[in-house]
Structure 1
Amino acid sequence: MSLSSLRIAVLIPCFNEEAAIATVVGDFRKALPAAEIYVYDNNSRDRTVAVARQSGATVRSERRQGKGHVVRRMFADVDADVYVLVDGDATYDAPSAPRMIERLVQEHLDMVVGLRIDQVQAAYRRGHRTGNWMLTSFLSSVFGQAFKDILSGYRVFSRRFVKSFPVLSDGFEIETELTVHALELALPVAEVETPYFARPEGSFSKLNTWRDGLRILGTILKLYRSEKPLRFFTAIGIFLALVSVGLAIPIFITYLEQGVVPRLPTAVLSTGLMIVAILSVSSGLVLDTVTRGRREMKLLAYLSQPPVNKS
């Protein structure tokens, strides 16, 4: 199937990217001449909007600050067969887009992630590289499938994915949520290596290594709690039960030797912890049933959308 027969939408979220947006729009216009290019401005205070319009992009805005809000508006507003989501900072390789789309269509995938291969040392800050590795490893251990770059801002989606994805995140943790959604529903996905460049002069990263890293880690934990509640609350229950048993053993030994319970507060604490542990496991069992029903609803929403037909 030729790319020209597909309705392709290039979605570019941006904030204060005057120095880069013209390059991004121009590069993707050359790489995907038949695509509709949408620039969604998120309260820029420079000339981003004017430059994007002059470059020939369709410009829209989202006033609620945060990349998650922008992606939510994009996915709701734009109708297409294939969606290309890319940051507006000119760090991603536009010529890789046709290859990513072809793989999505030929292999009947729902998401193709651009695996960033940095071309210069300045493309990745050391803290971002380490944080990305730690978060990627943690996510793989939790959800059981290896991704090499969960924080990539360069992705290609099927219509099925976009129109069934409930965007809950507000900020840069949106990439984590996109990845978890695909893993939890066992959707067919892939990674494609793509060059990653340093920002052009005058363009600055909005990411804060520690603040945004902690927010992304918090998002993973929240998604783990909501998507795998039985494991989450059982782990808490086991921990509390072990602490309870550890406190109770000396009390039992003293009781067997002396026939008295000299540390009544400790005994009460041990009993309370064991009760909370049982309640935690019980909560996990109930929430696991709720999660299964919610997952079924997500799958029904996904299946209600037609697949991309490559014939």
Structure 2
Amino acid sequence: MTTPALRVAVLVPCFNEEAAVATVVADFRKVLPAAEIFVYDNNSRDRTVDVARAAGAEVRSERRQGKGHVIRRMFADIEADIYVLVDGDATYDAPSAPRMIDMLVKEHLDMVVGFRVDQSAAAYRPGHRTGNWMLTGFLSLVFGQAFKDILSGYRVFSRRFVKSFPVLSDGFEIETELSVHALELALPVAEIETPYFARPVGSFSKLNTWRDGFRILGTILKLYRSEKPLRFFTAIGVLLMVISVVLAIPVIITYLEQGLVPRLPTAVLSMGLMIMAVLSVSSGLVLDTVTRGRREMKLLAYLSQPAINKK
């Protein structure tokens, strides 16, 4: 078990989780008796607030709708050495928390992700499983292999990670942003298998497979553009160059054979595309310099926070 000298905070974002939140609070109170449990309500229309407070949690609210807004508020408000982030739907295994915390402390990590292992067919819907697999593969291709479950809502963080993480997302794409932040700064992270259960009766998923899947994919593309602009804009530039050359070849052949340029609009389009390609690559070079500066600022913010010390 981890030492009691370290202050542990359990952060539980909730939206209409009256049927599950009491179970979550009780389970984490049992396995982490010294931890402080904070339930952040996100405009619930049921009795989530009353149930969470009766279960013994400290309840706070975030008025702006969206999981990203809730986590931004949590990370800003709560002071602790170790943060346990878990959804309030009672699908994650509380007894895994001490193992995750021990791994974080003993191996001097900044994030441990609970890799979900479903315990029933109802726990992990096929659409969500496929979407997670596709998004995880795309993220690995773009940023490098590091995670098997980027959408897990069960994570343990160091104070360094939490206080240096600039939350930009509004909704469920926040898990993707957390993963990308760790990959881009090459922070020490790990995954550990945890059981994943079906929701209790009366609890319903707020995740829309297609809508939120496209939002997460859009977040990955935005982060790829902002974190690796040289690759992003060079790829666009190369594509424009190829199209420009393909359009220009017939025009050049006709000019060499006849000394005329009868397809003037095509020639102008080809030249315009080539100019855009050069501008795209140039933009990538400039933005890459800016991104390096921002990355250095993030690292300085990260290093300004004390590391976890076992007392």
What is the CA–CA distance in structure 2 between the aligned matches of 1:59 and 1:3, rounded to whole Å? 26
Deviations 1:49-86, CA, capped at 9 Å, x for gaps = 00000000000000000000000000000000000000
Specify the SS of the correspondent of 1:141.
helix
Deviations 1:288-310, CA, capped at 9 Å, x for gaps = 00000000000000000000002
What is the CA–CA distance in structure 2 between the aligned matches of 1:304 and 1:209, rounded to whole Å? 39
For 1:10, the aligned partner's letter is V
Deviation at 1:3, TM superposition (A): 3.1
Partner of 1:17: 17
8 Å CA contact 2:2, 2:98 repeated in 1: no
Partner of 1:234: 234
What is the CA–CA distance in structure 2 between the aligned matches of 1:294 and 1:80, rounded to whole Å? 26
For 1:69, the aligned partner's letter is H
What is the CA–CA distance in structure 1 between the aligned matches of 2:232 and 2:115, rounded to whole Å? 30
Deviations 1:113-162, CA, capped at 9 Å, x for gaps = 00000000110111100000000000000001231000000000000000
Segments ≥4 residues shifted beyond 3 Å: none
- Residue 118 (1) aligns with residue 126 (2): no
For 2:248, the aligned partner's letter is A
Partner of 1:297: 297
Partner of 1:26: 26
Specify the SS of the correspondent of 2:16.
coil
Q: Any unmatched runs of 5+ in structure 2? A: none
What is the CA–CA distance in structure 1 between the aligned matches of 2:146 and 2:109, rounded to whole Å? 17
Partner of 1:5: 5
- How many residue pairs end up in the alignment? 311
Deviation at 1:107, TM superposition (A): 0.3
Partner of 1:256: 256
For 1:164, the aligned partner's letter is S
What is the CA–CA distance in structure 1 between the aligned matches of 2:157 and 2:3, rounded to whole Å? 14
What is the CA–CA distance in structure 2 between the aligned matches of 1:100 and 1:196, rounded to whole Å? 15
Deviation at 1:259, TM superposition (A): 1.0
Specify the SS of the correspondent of 2:114.
strand
- Residue 62 (1) aligns with residue 62 (2): yes
Q: CA RMSD in A?
A: 0.7
For 2:186, the aligned partner's letter is A
Specify the SS of the correspondent of 1:157.
strand
Percent identity of paired positions between Structure 1 and Structure 2: 85
For 2:32, the aligned partner's letter is L
- Residue 130 (1) aligns with residue 127 (2): no
When normalised by structure 2's length, the TM-score is 0.99
What is the CA–CA distance in structure 2 between the aligned matches of 1:260 and 1:270, rounded to whole Å? 16
- Residue 148 (1) aligns with residue 159 (2): no
